[in-house]
């Protein structure tokens, strides 16, 4: 029975779309997922703000919101800097020892995790772990225990491959990644007894980013001739993932509770930029420098072209002497954000880039920013209210469509020790819009077609949640499930008490009422401890390699 001796298999489909899964399951194209849906519960799963993999997967593992665990993106947010982030790449050392894997292990449950993102470096668990993206080397597996890696091949994404190869080669690599991860996970399941086993397939997300324009006839850069060749790639990757689900189900006992979930959803990329800085300039809240702006402005087009076409800039960067590194960092920040054009001594507020469809605005606060001018206290609060009021009802001058879905004070969305890392105002864009970087001119512009060809699929706030098992009821989900709720729910399915520090709730509506009555939710004061990992952080070499991978895939600039 689930409960005191429950077992749980969690299958993550990165970026898995509830709409596509339901559609293709109903059409008989995903038979294994269709059976789980028919015999279990299907629903949506709300992601984090923003819906980016780094924040969402750490939230999944910890049962904590980003304001608690501190990871919002692949880089650390830092509103005290005009660059908006520090240079460090996030990694598992920020939360290792405090995840549901560690909680389950502390109660004697044996755990396995395969390619869950942000689990590099791996750390000791009561079982086994294969690090997920990003890792320094896609050609090898980083594992705990280390000897496990000798039996496994290449299981993580190689961003250089995806950026440099033809679409047919990319499609084949995505299928290979699903197949090889499934075989590695099945081998582990067949050679050990796990109470909790988690495996994540990233190919679904990558396929949607790269091939949405071929799949979607309504997308602006859809080409019918190319669609004949590549229009089925997304479906084919989902079908390979469905076969992987079937193989994994064969490797676990029939009474296992099975969850299929995604960290966020997917859909077509926005076609319009909302340039928050240009809007703030128009509103008189951001001021430009006199004399033509930054002396580096003429280098920006060349620098951006260099970054787009030269894949090894990080290797070059780390070999530069310190004085040239500082100059290169200045050029990079100026090229991407235009910070050299801003007169900070007269600027009240400015854009804080997040991840579509979420953007931020930071108040230039005295005592926090290097050249802050807004006084803390009542003036700060009044300014936030005014900006939010101005954003409400803002429309696209060309189309008349609303540009902003909602705008929040940061404390309305986040809480915890890391609240100060979040921009003062969080803006959720309306569908069809994403953040742009222009400092002046029209505050809404069309996204160039070259960009829409390069990246045509985007994240959505709602992912998928499918639950199946002996205590799982049948039917639709309650519609209120969030990714932060999964860790508590998984521990509950294992019969393990839920730490009170977890922000999420147990999704009791997934379970039969009689089961819930017999197994009340138990909260305990388990805090967990940090654990020793192979590295206390990432080496300079690892930082450089991982930063380059993330930049190539568009996760950082």
Decide: helix, strand or coil at residue 266.
Answer: strand
Tokens of 13: 């489909």
8-269+457-496+505-552 under CATH 3.40.720.10, yes or no: yes
Instruction: Give the pLDDT of residue 3.
Output: 45
E strands, 510-556, are 523-524
Tokens of 258: 């099975």
| Total number of residues shown for the chain | 557
Q: What does residue 231 show for φ and ψ, rounded to 5 degrees?
A: -65, -20
Residues β-bridged to residue 143: 130
Tokens of 540: 């300079």
Integer Cα distance of 341 and 287 in angstroms: 9
**Helix (H) or strand (E) run with residue 25 in it:** helix 18-26
**Helix (H) or strand (E) run with residue 45 in it:** strand 41-46
The per-type count for the chain, helices as H runs and strands as E runs, is 20, 22
Integer Cα distance of 546 and 89 in angstroms: 8
pTM for the whole thing?
Answer: 0.90
Q: Per-domain residue ranges for the chain? A: 8-269+457-496+505-552, 272-447
**Which residues have CB under 8 Å from 313's CB, separation 6+?**
306, 307, 548
- Contact present, 64 and 527 (Cβ < 8 Å): no
b/e map of 418-443 (b: 16 or more CB within 10 Å)? Answer: beebbbbbbbbbbebbbbbbbbeebb
Pairing mode of beta strands 433-436, 272-275: parallel
pLDDT in tens, the chain (557 residues): 344 568 999 999 999 999 999 999 999 999 999 999 999 999 999 999 999 999 999 999 999 999 999 999 988 999 999 999 887 788 999 999 999 999 999 999 999 999 999 999 999 999 999 999 888 887 888 999 999 988 887 777 666 666 768 899 999 999 999 999 999 999 999 999 999 999 999 999 999 999 999 999 999 999 999 999 999 999 999 999 999 999 999 999 999 999 999 999 999 999 999 999 999 999 999 999 985 555 555 555 555 555 555 544 444 554 556 555 455 555 655 566 678 899 999 999 999 999 999 999 999 999 999 999 999 999 999 999 999 999 998 999 999 999 999 999 999 999 999 999 999 999 999 999 999 999 999 999 999 999 999 999 999 999 999 999 999 999 887 679 999 999 999 999 999 999 999 999 999 999 999 999 999 999 999 767 666 554 445 565 565 555 555 555 555 55
Integer Cα distance of 438 and 50 in angstroms: 21
- Contact present, 255 and 469 (Cβ < 8 Å): yes
- Contact present, 21 and 209 (Cβ < 8 Å): no
Integer Cα distance of 234 and 557 in angstroms: 26
Instruction: Give the pLDDT of residue 450.
Output: 94
Instruction: Give the pLDDT of residue 367.
Output: 96
């Amino acid at each position: 029975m689930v409960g005191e001796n429950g077992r749980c298999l969690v299958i993550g489909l990165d970026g898995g779309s509830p709409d596509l899964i339901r559609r293709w399951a109903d059409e008989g194209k995903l038979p294994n997922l269709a059976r789980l849906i028919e015999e279990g519960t299907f629903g949506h799963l709300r992601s984090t703000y923003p819906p980016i993999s780094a924040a969402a997967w750490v939230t999944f593992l910890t049962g904590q919101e980003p304001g608690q665990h501190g990871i919002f993106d692949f880089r650390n947010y830092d509103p005290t800097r005009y660059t908006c982030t520090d240079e460090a790449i996030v990694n598992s050392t920020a939360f290792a020892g405090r995840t549901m894997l560690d909680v389950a292990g502390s109660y004697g449950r044996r755990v396995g995790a395969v390619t869950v993102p942000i689990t590099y470096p791996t750390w000791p668990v009561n079982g086994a772990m294969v690090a997920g993206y990003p890792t320094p080397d896609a050609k090898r597996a980083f594992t705990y225990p280390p000897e496990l890696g000798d039996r496994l091949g290449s299981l993580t994404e190689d961003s250089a491959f995806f950026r440099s190869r033809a679409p047919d080669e990319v499609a084949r690599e995505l299928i290979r990644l699903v197949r090889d991860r499934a075989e590695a996970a099945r081998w582990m399941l067949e050679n050990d007894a796990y109470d909790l086993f988690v495996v994540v397939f990233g190919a679904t997300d990558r396929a949607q980013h790269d091939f949405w324009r071929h799949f979607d006839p309504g997308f602006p850069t859809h080409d019918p001739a190319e669609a004949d060749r590549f229009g089925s790639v997304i479906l084919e990757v989902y079908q390979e993932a469905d076969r992987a689900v079937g193989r994994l189900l064969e490797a676990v006992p029939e009474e296992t509770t099975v969850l299929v979930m995604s960290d966020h959803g997917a859909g077509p990329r926005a076609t319009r930029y909302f340039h928050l800085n240009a809007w703030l300039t128009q509103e008189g809240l951001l001021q430009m420098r006199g004399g033509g702006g930054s002396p580096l402005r003429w280098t920006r087009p060349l620098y951006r072209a260099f970054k787009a076409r030269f894949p090894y800039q990080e290797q070059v960067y780390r070999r530069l002497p310190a004085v040239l590194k500082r100059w290169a960092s200045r050029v990079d920040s100026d090229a991407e954000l235009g910070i050299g054009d801003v007169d900070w001594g007269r600027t009240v507020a400015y854009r804080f880039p997040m991840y579509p469809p979420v953007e931020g605005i930071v108040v230039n606060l005295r005592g926090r920013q290097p050249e802050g001018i807004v006084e803390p206290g009542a003036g700060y609060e009044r300014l936030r209210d005014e900006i939010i009021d101005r954003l409400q009802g803002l429309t696209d001058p060309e189309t008349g469509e609303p540009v902003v879905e909602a705008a929040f004070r940061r404390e309305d969305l986040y809480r915890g020790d890391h609240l100060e890392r979040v921009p003062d105002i969080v803006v959720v864009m309306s569908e069809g819009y994403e953040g742009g970087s222009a400092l002046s001119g029209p505050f809404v512009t069309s996204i160039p077609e070259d960009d829409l060809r390069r990246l045509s699929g985007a994240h959505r706030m709602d992912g998928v949640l499918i639950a199946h098992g002996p205590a799982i009821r049948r039917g639709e989900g309650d519609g209120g499930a969030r990714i932060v709720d999964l860790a508590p729910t998984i521990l509950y399915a294992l019969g393990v008490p839920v730490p009170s520090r977890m922000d999420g709730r147990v999704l009791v509506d997934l379970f039969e009422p009689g089961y819930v009555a017999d197994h009340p939710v138990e909260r305990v004061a388990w805090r967990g401890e940090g654990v020793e990992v192979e590295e206390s952080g990432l080496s300079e070499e690892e930082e450089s390699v991982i930063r380059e991978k993330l930049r190539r895939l568009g996760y950082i600039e």
